[in-house]
Amino acid sequence: MSSLLLAESGSTKTDWCLLRKGKKPVYFKTTGINPLLQSQETIMTLLQDELGWDKKKHEAAAISFYGSGAGSKDRQKEITTVLQQFFGTRNVEVNGDMMAAARALCGDQKGIVCILGTGSNSCYYNGSTIKEQQASLGFIAGDEGSGNYMGKRVLQYYAYKTFDTELMMGFEQLYGNDLPQILQKLYREPFPNRYLAKFVQLLMQNRGHYMVENIIEDCLNDFFHYHVLKYRQSWKQPLYFTGSVAYEFRDVIADICQQYELDLGKIEKSPMDGLVKFHKNLL
């Protein structure tokens, strides 16, 4: 195989990388692709509008796509069909975002792999396959510890006037004080999970405030309680984390791991570098 187009997609953004033998990787970015939230037609339009793909200049012999919402066979078929049509190649492999994180962070080693970005997920990886995975209920009923989950808590604290004056003012400076308009965006516009995750910015800008630290710790503790601690391997194998939320609040994750006497491995903002290394070895 002379070239491979690699894609790693969350609900908010997609990182693309064209790998070719003897040449430097070429990187692209688009907004997120999630077959649970987008139709095939919507994904096709997104690729046409955002990717800027030149088939003559950037021909790919094969495509390996990893994405949130792409864990089931039905969703993988949908993504495969779109990619085959858009890129004009039959050689397409589609995996869920957990496999991306596992291959990027663990390589051929065992570990508990966790994603904390706009959404959240976890699994036990045995060095080659995902052997066990906690149920993921998505942005409405689950996503503990994610940006969506934390953002929901921030919005609640503002709307219910739980925040003190400092944080109430901080919220309004970032997002305005028109609650009906905020709810309009949340319930009437696409991708409410992305919208809720934007409220995490308030937490990032106010680290050290006791209410902020309580929200971060409570949300991450929920992720450990409902997911990480359900794997019996958590006390035997290292824990690996990826995603914007995991990276931003890595100090809190480290503290929680210490409290539970768990072995913390790497925390990476994105799995892309690890995926590039993994697939380069296969070219």
The tens-digit pLDDT sequence of the chain (283 residues) is: 688 999 999 878 899 999 988 888 889 899 999 888 899 999 999 999 998 888 777 788 899 999 988 888 899 999 999 999 999 899 999 999 899 999 999 988 999 999 999 899 999 999 999 999 988 877 787 789 999 999 999 999 999 999 999 999 999 999 999 999 999 999 998 889 889 999 999 999 999 999 999 999 999 999 999 999 999 999 999 999 999 999 999 999 999 999 999 999 999 998 998 999 888 876 6
Cβ(174)–Cβ(186) below 8 Å: no
- What DSSP character marks residue 61? S
> In the structure, how many helices (H) and strands (E) does the chain have?
13, 10
Q: Tell me, what CATH number does 63's domain have?
A: 3.30.420.40
Cβ(152)–Cβ(45) below 8 Å: no
Q: Using alpha carbons only, give the angle 42, 46, 47 rounded to the nearest 5 degrees.
A: 120
Give the CA distances from residue 188 to residues 39, 170, 174, 181, in Å, rounded to whole numbers and listed in that order.
18, 25, 21, 10
Q: Does residue 18 belong to any structural domain of this protein? A: yes
Nearest to 215 by CA among 257, 143, 157, 136: 157
Q: Does residue 213 belong to any structural domain of this protein? A: no
Tell me how far apart the alpha carbons of residues 105 and 95 are, in angstroms, rounded to a whole number: 16
Q: Does residue 221 belong to any structural domain of this protein? A: no
Tell me which residue range forms the domain holding 92.
3-100+272-280
φ/ψ (deg, to 5) at 259: -60, -40
Q: Does residue 227 belong to any structural domain of this protein? A: no
The radius of gyration of the chain's CA atoms, rounded to the nearest angstrom, is 19
pTM of the shown model: 0.85
Between the CA atoms of 31, 34, 40 and 45, what dihedral angle is there, to the nearest 10 degrees?
A: -10
**Which amino acid type is present at position 29?**
K
Q: Does residue 14 belong to any structural domain of this protein? A: yes
The total domain count for the chain is 1
**Which amino acid type is present at position 248?**
E
Q: Which helix (H) or strand (E) holds 94?
A: strand 92-96
Q: Does residue 261 belong to any structural domain of this protein? A: no
